[in-house]
Amino acid sequence: MHLVMIGGSDAGISAALRARGLDPGAEVSVVVADAYPNFSICGIPYLVSGEVTHWRNLAHRTTADLEATGMRLRLDTTARRIDPGARKLLVTTADGADEVLAYDKLIVGTGAVPVRPPIGGVTGEDALGPEDGVHLLHSMGDTFAVMRTLEESAPATAVIVGAGYIGLEMADALTTRGLRVIQMEQLPEVLPTVDPPLGHLVHAQLTSHGAEVLTGTTVRQITRALAGGTGRLRVEATAADGTAVSRAADVVLVVVGVRPDTELAASAGAAIGARGAIAVDRGMRTNLPDVLAAGDCVITHHRLLGETYLPLGTTAHKQGRVAGENALGGNREFAGSLGTQVVKIFDQAAARTGLRDHEAVSAGFDPVTVQSEADDHKAYYPGSHRITMRFTGDRHTGRLLGVQLFGHRHAEIAKRIDTAATAIFHDMTVDGLSDLDLSYTPPLGSPWEAIQMGAQAWLRGACQH
Ligand SMILES: Cc1cc2nc3c(=O)[nH]c(=O)nc-3n(C[C@H](O)[C@H](O)[C@H](O)COP(=O)(O)OP(=O)(O)OC[C@H]3O[C@@H](n4cnc5c(N)ncnc54)[C@H](O)[C@@H]3O)c2cc1C
């Protein structure tokens, strides 16, 4: 049995590890376009900030660790064409030679590529690039390019286009590194994955650390600055009221989301689903015989929304594990995502799981959302922090649909959202969450745990809606 994985990031490596773990006799080859298998690209912002001191430290496992599991890594090797009928994969190796690999099962984990928005200077023939100080950010190669710009040209000012979670992490990182950050976001508030009242708290956190945050601002053009002007680059944008906005910058980071990298699979006949991602069943099987796929290149099964596209590292790991097991003949299903996520912005964290109002409506629920606050632990014990919570539940059934949290990074925001995610995963009601037997000691919590207070606030508030 020869399993071939395409892609050496979260999905491909998780699949390979699972397959080798289940069947140490299985021949497992991982084809990776670059030389950085199993690197934590989620950690890039912390390399940029300087908190992670060497890029090698971002490796989840070293190449030697991976090879010790018995998998064969084929680095700097690009998969070019899949022939599903013949179960053959054409690759180009590091020395430029073409080679055909025969497989019994193939797992596609080609991931995502950053979106290149239609901004003058970012797209087109004479688009600016890393050598001009204009960067996209996804791979280790992109990271090395950003680090070169930061180290060689010592920029003072950065414009970040986009204020999703990666844009915010980079604002934190570049500010920590000593740059002045200007963040431009075309939507009315930052972090559009949470409701605007929480986005507003994140916004305040950015400005309190010296960032200039321009929301409702659409970037139109990035050009090289005229000789004698300030900065290497000039960023032209339009504010929501139509006025022109212009800023000088030494470096520009364009981080406006990703799209699934599906060309290889699609050209072999793979069916395509939500947001152009590869269609897979819950067992991560594509419509092509003996071809599975996982990670940012595939659709995401959401437990409440059905088929969607939600590219996250945590999901890629789980889908990869399912694909690795099923490639060996298993019958595991990906249990589904709730879009659970958390982001640190300076000293604060914002998190969400499940649905917001508009998503709940689209899934046929009748949602009510109630905002409340609670202390992370008893306020009489030093170091307590307020947590702002937004609970969404169904008005008729009381079912818990979504939770959003904002609070200090030491207020266990991530683990509290995970408790909420566990409750939603198991179809609990808001009232049921309030009944859970959760832990308590004054330095770490309250007799009613913060999210149980949020649940009770929802129960009170929902009666008034
Ligand atoms: C800065 C940043 C921060 C992030 N932070 C978080 C976070 O905090 N939490 C979270 O859950 N997620 C986070 N993510 C998202 C997460 O990193 C991705 O969801 C995850 O990496 C997806 O893994 P993947 O294996 O599907 O694809 P990718 O990581 O995109 O990897 C694709 C792999 O396929 C290879 N490849 C592509 N085409 C070919 C080909 N033709 N031949 C051979 N190899 C090929 C690539 O070289 C690469 O190895 C972050 C992403 C970034 C960029």
The residue to which tokens 């507003």 are assigned: 200
- Measured from the CB, is residue 312 less than 6 Å from ligand 1? yes
- Measured from the CB, is residue 42 less than 6 Å from ligand 1? yes
CB 325 within 8 A of CB 318: no
- Secondary structure of the chain in HEC code, one letter for each residue: CEEEEECCCHHHHHHHHHHHHHCCCCEEEEECCCCCCCECHHHHHHHHHCCCCCHHHHECCCHHHHHHCCCEEECCCEEEEEECCCCEEEEECCCCCEEEEECCEEEECCCEEECCCCCECCECCCCCCHHHCEECCCCHHHHHHHHHHHHHHCCCEEEEECCCHHHHHHHHHHHHCCCEEEEECCCCCCCCCCCHHHHHHHHHHHHHCCCEEECCEEEEEEEECCCCCCCCEEEEEEECCCCEEEEEECEEEECCCEEECCHHHHHCCCCECHHHCECCCCCCECCCCCEEECCCCECEEECCCEEECCCCHHHHHHHHHHHHHHHCCCCCCCCCECCCEEEEECCEEEEEEECCHHHHHHCCCCEEEEEEEEECCCCCCCCCCEEEEEEEEECCCCEEEEEEEEEECCCCHHHHHHHHHHHHHCCCEHHHHHHCCCCCCCCCCCCCCHHHHHHHHHHHHHHHC
- Measured from the CB, is residue 389 less than 6 Å from ligand 1? no
Q: Whose CA is nearest to atom 16 of ligand 1?
A: 313
To test the pocket of ligand 1, the residue of 110, 137, 140, 170 to mutate (highest count of ligand atoms within 8 Å of its CB) is 110
pLDDT of residue 270: 98
pLDDT of residue 181: 98
Q: Whose CA is nearest to atom 37 of ligand 1?
A: 110
pLDDT of residue 17: 98
- Measured from the CB, is residue 424 less than 6 Å from ligand 1? no
- Measured from the CB, is residue 79 less than 6 Å from ligand 1? yes
CB 169 within 8 A of CB 137: no
- Measured from the CB, is residue 91 less than 6 Å from ligand 1? no
Cα-based distances in Å from 405 to 296, 400, 462: 25, 15, 18
pLDDT of residue 227: 79
pLDDT of residue 229: 73
Q: Whose CA is nearest to atom 34 of ligand 1?
A: 7
pLDDT of residue 460: 97
| Ligand 1 atom at minimal distance to the Cα of residue 314 | 11
CA of 138 to the centre of ligand 1 (A): 7
Identify the bridge partners of residue 91 per DSSP, sorted by sequence position: 79, 99
pLDDT tens string 351-376:
999 999 999 999 999 999 999 999 99
CA of 134 to the centre of ligand 1 (A): 21
Q: Whose CA is nearest to atom 5 of ligand 1?
A: 42
- Give the predicted TM-score (pTM) of the model: 0.96
pLDDT of residue 121: 95
CA of 109 to the centre of ligand 1 (A): 9
pLDDT of residue 198: 98
- Measured from the CB, is residue 166 less than 6 Å from ligand 1? yes
The residue to which tokens 């084809």 are assigned: 31
241: burial class by Cβ within 10 Å (0-12, 13-18, 19+)? exposed
- Measured from the CB, is residue 295 less than 6 Å from ligand 1? yes
Q: In this structure, what are the phi and psi dihedrals at residue 12, rounded to the nearest 5 degrees?
A: -65, -45
Residue type, 125: E
To test the pocket of ligand 1, the residue of 108, 258, 261 to mutate (highest count of ligand atoms within 8 Å of its CB) is 261
| Ligand 1 atom at minimal distance to the Cα of residue 311 | 19
Q: State the Cα–Cα distance between residues 190 and 358, nearest whole angstrom.
A: 18
| Ligand 1 atom at minimal distance to the Cα of residue 258 | 53
200: burial class by Cβ within 10 Å (0-12, 13-18, 19+)? middle
CB 360 within 8 A of CB 367: yes
CB 388 within 8 A of CB 406: yes
- Measured from the CB, is residue 114 less than 6 Å from ligand 1? no
pLDDT of residue 7: 98
pLDDT of residue 465: 72
Residues of the chain with pLDDT under 50: none
